[in-house]
Each structure stands twice: as C-alpha cells, then as structure tokens.
C-alpha cells in the first residue's frame, strides 16, 4: 500500500514509512561480508576474521547506516511520487505501536515549499533613484582626496583650532587613582574629527604649545569601558605641539600620488569623474533595487518554511558574532543574542528569495553569458588592468557565479521596472555617497 502524505498545519506534512526487517538484515550481511574482506581485527590476519567477530565489531554501525539508507530511499520515493519540494531536513521518529515484528516503522515530518503566487507587477509602485554628477561633485571628491593627504606643519604661538593636529601628554585620575587608558605621552589627534570625547576636545581647543591645563571630564554612562562609564575623572594635559593642516596643491605631483603616472591633472580629473559616476550610478541602482524588493515583499503573503527561516536566523547570528569579533569583543562567541533579533529580517529575506526564484522561472530571467561578461567588464573598469580582471573572473567558477547572481538580480529589477508604476526621484550626491 502506497504511504499517504498527511497535511498537518501550514506547510508541515507527515508520512508513515515501513521497511522490511528481512531486507535490512540481508543488506547488513552483504555489507559485513564486504567489510570482512579488509577489516583489521586484533588476533586475526586482515580479511580472515570470522563473520561473527565482524558482526560484533561493525554490526551496530553498519545496521544503523543501512536503516537510515533504506528509510531515506523510501521517503525519497514517496516525495518524488507526490511531487513535493521538501524544505529543510525531515524529522524521523520510530513507531512501535501496532507494528509487526517483521518491519521497522517510522513517522517522517517535514515542511514543503509554499506555492508562490506572483503579484500583478502592474500594480506595484516603484521609485527609481537618479543622481547627477557635475563639476561640483568632482571638486568635492578632489577636496576629500586632498584632505586625505594633509600634511601638518608646526604653528608655534598659535592657539589650537578645529583641523589642527595637537600632540600632548595627559594623565587622568578618578578619586586620585590612575585608571587604565587614562595616561599617554606624545599623543596626537586632530581637533574636530571626534576621536576624543567632546569635553576633552573643548578643553584642548585654544591652547598653545607648552601650555598646561587641568579639567574635569564625566564619561558617558554608555562609555565602552565599564570601569569608567558614568564616572568623573580629572585630567592634566600638557600640549607639546600644535600643527596646522596644509593641503596639497592640485598639480602634477598630486596627480602622480593618485596613480596618474604622467602627472596629467586633466586626465586625473577625468578619471575621478568616471569613478564617481560609476559609484554614484551603482548606489542609485541599489536604491532602486531596494524599492523593487520592498514592493515585491509587501505585495505577497504566504506561509514560510520554518526550517528556511531558522537557517537564515542562524546565518545572520553567525555574521553578527563575526562582526563583534572583528570589533575586538572578547566574548563574541558566547554573548547572548535573542533568537527573535533577526526573525523579521530572516522572514523578509526568505520571502524575497522564494518570490525572486519564482519570478526568474516564470519570466525566464536566467543570466545569459553575454550579460555576465558585460557586467564583469563594467566592474573591471575600476582597476588599472581591466583585461586581467575580466580573464580572472571568467576563468574562476566561483567568482563568475557571484557575477551571475548579480545579473539575475538586475534582470529581476529591470523586469519589474518594465511592468510597474515607476516614478523618478532625484537623490542628492552627498546624501547618496554618505558624505553628510
């Protein structure tokens, strides 16, 4: 009799399976005979141990593997005949009640993928982000590049102000006791960059080289060090140098420092424009893609396989712990992270993954080889030797797969944009690039 797949709730299914004890024992004996040919058993030459001895040493393990294999085959057959797509790993539980001695019975519980009904794309409202890159944006980028190459020269006799690099000695105490991290000599920092607490920078502002000052400073309650958080310290500082910033001129030397071998300033400006146009275009494209994905996610509601959501939560939790490690947190592996921290994000990612997969299949949006190559060539333009980058990506299967995934996303976005209600929205360059 063909096993019947029982629908429980939502996407959960259950099926009762049986396997013949005789069939299992037949396969066990066959495998034990194969093991006996090469098994090394103490007191016997290799391959000469009696089958009874092999049974005692290897029987339990072989029998366990055979039972799992036979149950797996039986379950795969049922799933295949029922044309089900299983999400996650089935849970197997043995059954004994009402079961004859000639069979082993199990109950398999599992989830299936949902039937995804795509929304009417014509009803979706999408925002297409657009940005303009002009001379002002190029100049802002040049200014940032100049600032990154700032040189500092001593400003003797001048009071420290924002932008100056101040070098000082400081010693901090709490209740007249020094604390860890509260003392340093010849410590440099730039005023206005936010490296030090605002009260500390305020105290240093206006001082000249050779001056001393003592002042109180209350650490924020959420300060990174619990030993001083919320406490008031007294700092004694001695300024040893005040240096003012000196930006490089936009000349041949500046161009060479940025990789323009001939020192051609106009060629440098053209390169900068090209680079920021590509970057701004990519970021605007990402905003548009986010609008598409938000609209798709909001337009569909269907049951999600718990196994896929839990797997996504585990992935996000692992990524969070890795980030905490990179930040130097010593207990990143054991710090409690509530399971529901990433639940909403995980559900959204799983829902979008199922939606996008269905859309790719229904609209035939698979990545074409020419699309993949074009995307790689576009990506390679930001490197000094684009041809080598193209060859590297085309010859590396994993790297090529990464680009194919991006092309798939592009195809989905363009397909939705072609059918949806799209409104253009201009995004300011500084906002898009995160410079303000």
| 386 Cβ contact partners less than 8 Å away, ≥ 6 residues apart | 377, 380
Q: Contact 179/172 with Cβ under 8 angstroms?
A: yes
Chosen domain end from 112, 142, 177: 112
* Complete DSSP assignment for 42-81: TTS-TT-S-HHHHHHHHHHHHHHHHHHHHHHHHHHHHHHH
Task: Chunk the chain into consecutive blocks of 10 residues (it has 436) and report each block's average pLDDT, rounded to whole numbers.
Answer: 82 91 89 83 79 84 89 90 91 85 89 93 96 92 92 93 96 94 95 94 96 96 89 96 95 91 92 91 93 93 93 92 85 84 93 94 93 90 85 89 92 96 93 77
* CA dist., res. 269 & res. 166, Å (int): 33
Which helix H or strand E contains 125, and what residues bound it? strand 125-130
Report the length, in residues, of the chain. Answer: 436
Whole-model pTM: value is 0.72
In a domain, 84, yes or no: yes
Does 281 lie in the same domain as 228?
no
Per-residue pLDDT, 162: 95
The Cα–Cα gap between 89 and 112 comes to: 10
Same domain, 182 and 231: yes
Supply the pLDDT for residue 254.
92
Report how far apart, in Å, the C-alpha atoms of 203 and of each of 60, 169, 173, 198, 212 are: 76, 14, 16, 9, 11
The per-residue DSSP string of 197-251 comes to -HHHHHHHTT--TT-EEEEEEEPPTT-S-TTTTT-EEEEEEEEEEEEEEEPPPSS
Cα–Cα dist 391/380, whole Å:
10
86 with 187, same domain: the answer is: no
Residue 325 lies in a domain: no
Q: Cα–Cα distances in Å, from 138 out to 129, 268, 276, 404? A: 20, 11, 8, 32
- pLDDT given for residue 52 in this prediction: 82
344 and 298 in a common domain: yes
* Secondary structure of residue 166 in the 3-state scheme: strand
Q: Which residues pair with 18 in a beta bridge?
A: 105
Alpha-carbon distance values, 112 to 2, 83, 155, 313, 354 (Å): 20, 10, 72, 19, 12
DSSP state of 164: -
Name the phi and psi angles at 107, rounded to 5: -115, 120
Whether residues 209 and 236 fall in one domain: yes
CATH of the domain at 208: 3.10.50.40
Residues 264 and 346 in one domain: yes
Report yes or no on 39 lying in a domain. Answer: yes
Report the CATH number that the domain containing residue 128 is assigned in CATH: 1.10.3120
Residue 354: which domain range?
Answer: 121-134+260-302+340-433
Q: Same domain, yes or no, for 161 and 241?
A: yes
Maximal C-alpha separation, the chain: 99
Going by C-alpha positions, the residue among 368, 359, 367 that lies closest to residue 295 is: 359
Residues 288, 207 share a domain: no
CATH number at residue 64: 3.30.70.1050
411, 428: one domain: yes
pLDDT at 435: 64
Interatomic CA distance for residues 425 and 188, integer angstroms: 44
* Number of domains within the chain: 3
For residue 160, the model assigns a pLDDT of 96
Distance CA 379, CA 398 (A): 16
- Give a yes or no: residue 362 inside a domain: yes
Same domain, yes or no, for 265 and 406? yes
Q: Is residue 37 part of a domain?
A: yes
CA nearest 16: which of 131, 132, 126, 94? Answer: 94
Q: What secondary structure does DSSP assign to 269-304, as a single string?
A: HHHHHHHHHHHHHHHHHHHHHHHHHHHHHHH-----
Alpha carbon distance 393, 145 (integer Å) = 30
């Amino acid at each position: 009799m063909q096993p019947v797949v029982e629908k429980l709730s939502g996407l959960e299914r259950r099926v009762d399976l049986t396997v013949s004890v005789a069939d299992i024992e037949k396969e066990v004996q066959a495998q034990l005979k194969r093991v006996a040919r090469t098994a090394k058993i103490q007191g016997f030459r290799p391959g000469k141990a009696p089958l009874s001895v092999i049974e005692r040493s290897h029987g339990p393990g072989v029998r366990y593997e055979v039972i799992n294999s036979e149950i797996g085959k039986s379950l795969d057959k049922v799933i295949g005949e029922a044309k089900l797509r299983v999400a996650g790993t089935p849970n197997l539980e043995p059954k004994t009640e009402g079961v004859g001695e000639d069979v082993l019975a199990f109950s398999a519980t599992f989830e299936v993928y949902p039937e995804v009904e795509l929304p009417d794309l014509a009803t979706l409202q999408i925002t297409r982000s657009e940005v303009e890159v002009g001379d002002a944006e190029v100049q802002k980028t040049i200014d940032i590049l100049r600032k990154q190459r700032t040189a500092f020269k001593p400003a003797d006799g001048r009071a420290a102000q924002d932008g100056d690099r101040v070098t000082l000695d400081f010693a901090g105490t709490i209740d007249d006791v020094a604390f860890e991290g509260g003392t340093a000599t010849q410590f440099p920092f730039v005023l206005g960059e936010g490296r030090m607490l605002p009260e500390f920078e305020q105290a240093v502002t206006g001082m000249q080289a050779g001056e001393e000052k003592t002042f109180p400073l209350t650490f924020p309650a959420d300060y990174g060090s619990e030993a001083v958080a919320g406490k008031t310290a007294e700092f004694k500082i001695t300024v040893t140098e005040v240096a003012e910033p000196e930006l490089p001129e936009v000349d041949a030397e500046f161009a060479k420092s940025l990789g323009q071998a001939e020192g051609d300033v106009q060629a440098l400006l053209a390169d900068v424009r090209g680079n920021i146009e590509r970057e701004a275009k990519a970021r605007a494209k990402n905003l548009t893609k986010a609008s598409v994905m938000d609209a798709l996610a909001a337009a569909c509601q269907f049951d999600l396989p718990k196994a896929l959501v839990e797997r996504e939560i585990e992935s996000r939790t692992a990524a969070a712990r890795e980030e905490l490690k990179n930040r130097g947190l010593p207990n990143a592996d054991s710090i409690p992270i509530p399971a529901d921290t990433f639940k909403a994000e995980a559900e959204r990612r799983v829902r979008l993954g199922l939606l996008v997969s269905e859309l790719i299949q229904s609209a035939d949006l698979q990545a074409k080889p020419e699309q993949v190559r074009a995307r790689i060539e576009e990506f390679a333009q930001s490197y000094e030797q684009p041809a080598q980058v193209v060859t590297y990506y085309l010859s590396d299967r994993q790297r090529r797969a990464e680009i194919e995934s991006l092309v798939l996303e592009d195809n989905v976005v363009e397909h939705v944009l072609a059918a949806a209600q799209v409104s253009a929205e201009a995004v300011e360059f500084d906002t898009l690039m995160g410079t303000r």
